Chain A
């Protein structure tokens, strides 16, 4: 599907890596979360500073320092800590979490270098120093929207890209009932599982992974549809016992996994 921009990067080792670029939507979600966290942190900082200022004012006579000097110091300290928080948040997280901040983690995106290496301190610093400029008049927004590699000014300067994390890596464990495992053994004797196409197996796996979130009615329809299709593929005239479509699919999944594990065992 051409809905998301993709990019192929050739690493110095001549390996070609494919990435899907983050997209403006995910970057907006990440920004939203990061700026909310930052705003809360700034508020805490402000309250802390006010508290400190009042405490120091009480001590003023005791310390024997002039009020103006003290105020200047306080304001200066506050400005520095403000700047440190704004820059430090992005630099710290992006360096420590290999190109991710809490917002990017939620939006399932990450910053990488143009040569697909992980982002380091240098790139993270450049990106966050340019961030205020990108925010002014939506400059960064238009840059991301209009450039084919979705780079804002900070990305141009630091030589970085923002890409999506492969969604397939985050799979939930699939619960397979004891009964289905037993049936899987029977099915393996009855039918040749190599007739199942990898695509269809992937569909079965996706169904089993996602069925908890599906409505009762849809589960019935989808499982029946898939079970019928796979039963035809396996040329199964009769089933070993009576079972629901869900059990049949669980058994197929389990059997296919066992078989794959066995053949791998023979190979290596």
Chain B
């Protein structure tokens, strides 16, 4: 028998397909627990948005009742600002609970399974770090987007003028200009798209270390994701697309199909608005059901990347000299 056959159960690095299969299996095996967490997370999100709206409307209405219209507008302005508090709190809870799901998946992979409440008590002290993390990611993506836009424009102009110039000289200005514009435009789109996909992939598991590793800050968590994903960007693409394919049947049912019906009805009719409401509820439910899959897949991906980059599974294999 080969020595590896009797090895105690540590999975080690997984191929992209198995990352997704493992994520799905973990979700299915503890379906109720994950779905409950997801439902609570989505309710926090909903609560945050409603809270924001409520504060705004209440303050605006109150001040309009007391004073005049101007005061009412002032109230709305203050309400929008104050309402940000419940909204951000809801977002933080949503973000933290989604990270808890990844943590639960990871803990199961390293043979130290946790209950939902234990995992939650581990992340609760870091609630505001999760909000900070979310804002940091938003900031990074915005900055990245603009930086990519600038780089893409410069490259696009360069490619466009170069090919346009050369082709004009050979085939005449008409063909040259057309090819120059087309190739330049393609370059811009390609640079922005590839750049964004790359950036999102590098940040893809940013919330997972924060939920799992002790003594870690929001920015540490981002650099952990950055370092772990360094050599795996292409592999992550396969994981993401395979996971998307698996969610597709649910997404089609909960969101694409109702939207097609909506287009057929036309804006304005009562039926349209009824369907709009149904649609909203359905995609809310669809998100609730599919989010745990994405989060368990992220948990498995974190395990996979740590095994590849840090030999996590090698360190975890129990010492046999007992």
The interface residues of chain A lying within 8 Å CB-to-CB of B6 are 198-199
Stretch at the interface among B20-28, B178-186, B215-223, B261-269: B20-28
Stretch at the interface among B163-171, B193-201, B311-319: B311-319
Cα A207 to Cα B316 in complex, Å, equals: 12
The interface residues of chain A lying within 8 Å CB-to-CB of B24 are 24-25
Cα A22 to Cα B8 in complex, Å, equals: 22
Contact across chains for B20 and A213 when beta carbons are under 8 A apart: no
> What total of chain A residues lie within 8 Å of the partner, measured CB to CB?
48
- Chain A nearest CB: distance from B25 CB in Å? 5
CB contact between A25 and one of B2, B13, B17, B231 (< 8 Å): that residue: B17
- Chain A nearest CB: distance from B220 CB in Å? 14
Q: Is the interface of B mostly helix, strand, loop or mixed?
A: helix
Contact across chains for B17 and A109 when beta carbons are under 8 A apart: yes
Contact across chains for A229 and B19 when beta carbons are under 8 A apart: no
The 0/1 profile, CB within 8 Å of B marked 1, for residues 30-57 of chain A is: 1110000000000000000000000000
The 0/1 profile, CB within 8 Å of B marked 1, for residues 1-14 of chain A is: 11110000000000
Contact across chains for A225 and B25 when beta carbons are under 8 A apart: no
The interface residues of chain A lying within 8 Å CB-to-CB of B13 are 210
The interface residues of chain B lying within 8 Å CB-to-CB of A263 are none
- Chain A nearest CB: distance from B197 CB in Å? 16
Contact across chains for A210 and B242 when beta carbons are under 8 A apart: no
The interface residues of chain A lying within 8 Å CB-to-CB of B245 are 28, 31-32
Contacts A32-B245, A222-B315 given; indicate if A215 touches B227 (C-beta within 8 A): yes
Contacts A3-B26, A138-B248 given; indicate if A199 touches B15 (C-beta within 8 A): no
Q: How large is the interface on B (under 10, 10 to 19, 20 to 34, 35 or more residues)?
A: 35 or more
Contact across chains for A23 and B21 when beta carbons are under 8 A apart: yes
Contact across chains for A25 and B19 when beta carbons are under 8 A apart: yes
The interface residues of chain A lying within 8 Å CB-to-CB of B9 are 1
Interface status of B308 (Cβ within 8 A of chain A): yes
Contact across chains for A141 and B249 when beta carbons are under 8 A apart: yes
Cα A218 to Cα B20 in complex, Å, equals: 26
Contact across chains for A3 and B16 when beta carbons are under 8 A apart: no
The interface residues of chain A lying within 8 Å CB-to-CB of B122 are none
- Chain A nearest CB: distance from B239 CB in Å? 8
Cα A109 to Cα B21 in complex, Å, equals: 13
The interface residues of chain A lying within 8 Å CB-to-CB of B25 are 2-4
The interface residues of chain B lying within 8 Å CB-to-CB of A141 are 246, 249
Contacts A3-B11, A32-B241, A215-B310 given; indicate if A203 touches B317 (C-beta within 8 A): yes
Interface status of B309 (Cβ within 8 A of chain A): yes
Cα A225 to Cα B318 in complex, Å, equals: 12
Interface status of B258 (Cβ within 8 A of chain A): no
- Chain A nearest CB: distance from B282 CB in Å? 17
Interface status of A200 (Cβ within 8 A of chain B): yes
Interface status of B142 (Cβ within 8 A of chain A): no
The interface residues of chain A lying within 8 Å CB-to-CB of B4 are 168, 202
Q: Which of A187-223 contact B (CB under 8 A)?
A: 197-203, 205-207, 210-211, 213-215, 218-219, 221-222
Interface status of B238 (Cβ within 8 A of chain A): yes
Binding site for B on A (CB under 8 A): 1-4, 22-32, 107-109, 138, 141-142, 164, 167-168, 197-203, 205-207, 210-211, 213-215, 218-219, 221-222, 225-226, 229, 232-233
Between A and B, 10 residue pairs with Cβ closer than 8 Å are: A4-B18, A4-B25, A28-B241, A108-B15, A109-B17, A141-B246, A141-B249, A201-B3, A203-B314, A207-B314
Interface contacts beyond A4-B21, A25-B19, A206-B314: sample of 7 additional A-B pairs, CB < 8 Å, sorted by A: A24-B246, A29-B242, A168-B2, A197-B320, A201-B3, A207-B314, A222-B311
Binding site for A on B (CB under 8 A): 2-4, 6-9, 11-13, 15-26, 227, 231, 238, 241-243, 245-246, 248-249, 308-311, 314-315, 317, 319-321
* 6 A-B pairs with least C-beta separation: A26-B17, A25-B20, A23-B21, A25-B21, A198-B3, A218-B310
